[in-house]
Chain A
Amino acid sequence: GEDVEQSLFLSVREGDSSVINCTYTDSSSTYLYWYKQEPGAGLQLLTYIFSNMDMKQDQRLTVLLNKKDKHLSLRIADTQTGDSAIYFCAETTSGTYKYIFGTGTRLKVLA
C-alpha cells in the first residue's frame, strides 16, 4: 500500500540547520514534494525532486533522496523564525492523478 510518514514535531534554534525527514512506500513514485503551511493558510510548494535525482539544492533548501531506503529529507540552512510552519512531504506517480501526503512536521524555531 501507499503511505508517507513524517515525525510530528521538530524544534531548532535560530541560525541552526533543520532536517525534516520523510519515508514513503511507493517505489513507483515519480515526483516527491515539500510543501510549507503557515498558520491559517494553504500549502505552498517549496521544492520538488524527480525520483531519478539524488539531491536538489535551492538557496537555503537542500533535498536529499535515498531511493533504496525510500527516504526523503529537507534541510533548511540558517533556520529563521519565519521558517516556523508545518512541512509536508508528498509523492505522486506519473500518469496518475493521486497525490499522497504525509502527516506533516511542525517546525518550531526558537529565538
Chain B
Amino acid sequence: NAGVTQTPKFQVLKTGQSMTLQCAQDMNHNSMYWYRQDPGMGLRLIYYSASEGTTDKGEVPNGYNVSRLNKREFSLRLESAAPSQTSVYFCASTSGGAGNEQFFGPGTRLTVL
C-alpha cells in the first residue's frame, strides 16, 4: 500500500494563477481532509469530505475549492492564488476504526509570488 500520496511535492505560482493539488489514498478510507500548515499555527483544516459525494468547509476555506472525485481521490483547487496561500498543504484520510487515526500524505510545498 502506498498510503496517502500527494502531487506535486513543490510548486511555485504567480499571484492570480490557478492550480489543483491532487491527493489519493489506497486504504479504502471513507473520510479525507485538506490542511494547511503555517509556522507557529499548527494544522488548520481547509475542507473535508466525510464520505464519497460530500464535502464540507473547515476552519479556513476561503480561496479554495475541493472535489471528491471518487472514494480514493480528493483534490484541492486554488482558483486565483494569493501570497497568503503560501504554505505547506497536507492531505489526510481517516481509518474509521478503533482510534480513528488520521494518515497523512507527504505534503505539497506551495509558494505564491
- The reply to whether A41 and B107 contact each other, CB–CB distance below 8 Å, is yes
Bitwise, A75-111 to B at CB < 8 A (1) or not (0) is: 0000000000000101010100111011110000000
> Which residues in B have their C-beta under 8 angstroms from that of A97?
31, 48, 50, 56, 94
Which applies to chain B's interface (DSSP): helix, strand, loop or mixed?
Answer: strand
B53 contacts A by Cβ under 8 Å: no
B40 touches A31 (CB 8 A): no
Contacts of A92 in B (CB 8 A): 100
Indicate if the CB atoms of A33 and B101 lie closer than 8 Å.
yes
B interface bracket (residues with beta carbon within 8 Å of A):
20 to 34
Q: Is A42 in contact with B40, judged by CB distance below 8 angstroms? A: no
Question: Could you say which residues of chain A place their CB within 8 Å of the CB of B48?
Answer: 97-98
Q: Tell me what chain A mostly uses at the interface: helix, strand, loop, or mixed.
A: strand
Residues on B with C-beta less than 8 A from A35 are 104
Choose among A33, A44, A98, A104 the residue that contacts B42 (Cβ–Cβ < 8 A): A104
- Bound-state CA distance A95–B102 (Å) is 15
Chain B residues at the A interface, C-beta cutoff of 8 Å: 4, 31, 33, 35, 40-43, 45, 48, 50, 56, 58, 90, 92, 94, 99-107
